[in-house]
Structure 1
Amino acid sequence: MVGLTNTFDCNYIPGNQERLLVIQEQQLNDHLFEQLLGMGFRRNGNSIYKPHCPACQQCQSIRVPIAEFSPSKRQKRTLKQNVDIQWRLSHQHAEGHFELYERYINARHSDGPMFPPSREQFNEFLICDWLEPTFIELFHQDKLIAVAVTDLMPNSLSAIYSYFDPDYSKRSLGSLMILLQCELAKVLGKRYLYLGYQIDENAKMNYKRLYRPYQILTAQGWQQQQ
């Protein structure tokens, strides 16, 4: 079933109105979801959505073609700066995940729609009944310091959300987790890493063009930019 939400105040651009196209389908799986990703949809918990705003098209679907991706000098410095960090994959939601998420939202996004964080909101946002999320866990000296939640599809990865210990802010862990997802996609032979929506007018959402080359979904299809 496909439906439209009512318009509401935009969470990303003050003064704008937002509306979502939402798909509710009982037979969703990784193959169908990957097709929907290619059409500009995203996942939030069990729900599939994409912006369908009455007077704005600032949300642009963006993805990285993995075979062509090459880290910039700054991104290489981020990798070098964090060589002492270990990471592993998990398909299990660990107890420490929410506590880390809670600290991150309280410190970095107290002005956003995810504040105040709660376990119910955390589960509804990240956990999915029809697709098992993958958790990329980062550790420093055996301490969990960051988690990237990503979905694995037949030909791509989709970055859902990342959060980290605010005490490690100087390590550029947000960038590191995107770079690790690019590395994981390459190791697994995936074609793309979907990064969600690039929003140029929002300072917290306009960083995704830094991972080059990238592709933006337009009315003419996916267009690559260097």
Structure 2
Amino acid sequence: MNTQTAPSPQFYLTAPATCPYLPQEMERKVFTHMVGERAPELNDLLTQGGFRRSQNIAYRPACESCRACISVRIVAGEFSPTRSMRRILALNSDVVSTEYPAEPSSEQYSLFRRYLDHRHQKGGMSDMSVLDYAMMVEDTHVNTKIIEYRLKVEGDGIGAAKGPLISAALTDKMGDGLSMVYSYFDPELSDRSLGTFMILDHIRKVRDRGLPHVYLGYWVKGSRKMDYKTKFLPQEHLMAQGWERYTGEGTVTESD
């Protein structure tokens, strides 16, 4: 009888680099590769342990002097939208979301490129080519979907939505919910608050599946562009003792 077990993942540490969120700090990451049959199971375990996925790599901060990056997940079953969120849902009632296999398209890349050029001209992703984008979407060994958001047009309701693509989300399906890997939207439609709308739609999808969580990645305390993540309450933050409830005033109860 073969008693060999699958090898455990090997973890590596990056060299120090300037933090993209807090320039006064130096960033390091611990990472591992997620490939093969065990990748979906490993993705669940690592995401629940504070890791994020980028292509076939899972990583988390391992900074020597800073603990500002905090993993955030929304408690979907207890979530109640604020008045402004209800307005955003009403404003986007003409938007259809459709899940597809993690396959890139030229239409997606065109929207992605406009988003980067408008919102992240100096970011680390600013020079991504169409091939880079394709790798970001399809280089995955876990259960990943690309969720397209299109405006409704006459004839929608039979087959795939046919309206213009206005936003998209690369999302991992997990045993306890959905993890939003990356999302982008048409920068000319800022009045629709599509970033918030996509998160609200993910909360709906998770609740429809009877699952508990939407993972948003890291909230970086002190980084204004990350503050939006703390508006979706209640949520849980991964602290030293495990996941703890966050109500907007601080972590108040231990979750698991």
5 Å-filtered alignment, 1:1-226, equals: 1-27=10-36, 28-91=38-101, 92-140=103-151, 141=153, 142-226=163-247
Q: Which moved more, 1:160-169 or 1:127-136?
A: 127-136
- Supply the distance in 2 between the matched residues of 1:95 and 1:128 (Cα, whole angstroms): 17
Q: Which runs of 4+ in 1 moved over 4 A?
A: none
Task: Extract unaligned runs of 5+ from structure 1.
Answer: none
CA RMSD of superposed structures (Å) = 1.4
Deviation at 1:25, TM superposition (A): 4.4
Contact 1:126 1:160 in 2 (8 A): no
CA separation of 1:37/1:174 partners in 2, compared to 1, >3 Å: closer, same or farther? same
Match of 2:250 in 1: none
Please report the TM-score for the alignment, with normalisation by the length of structure 1: 0.95
Deviation at 1:151, TM superposition (A): 0.5
Deviation at 1:105, TM superposition (A): 0.3
Contact 2:34 2:56 in 1 (8 A): no
Could you say which structure has the larger radius of gyration? Answer: 2
Fraction of identical pairs, as percent = 34
Please report the TM-score for the alignment, with normalisation by the length of structure 2: 0.84
Deviation at 1:93, TM superposition (A): 2.6
What amino acid maps onto 2:32 in structure 1? I
- Supply the distance in 1 between the matched residues of 2:28 and 2:135 (Cα, whole angstroms): 20
What amino acid maps onto 1:16 in structure 2? E
What amino acid maps onto 2:33 in structure 1? Q
Contact 1:34 1:156 in 2 (8 A): no
Query: How many aligned positions are there?
Result: 226
Task: Extract unaligned runs of 5+ from structure 2.
Answer: 1-9, 154-162, 248-256
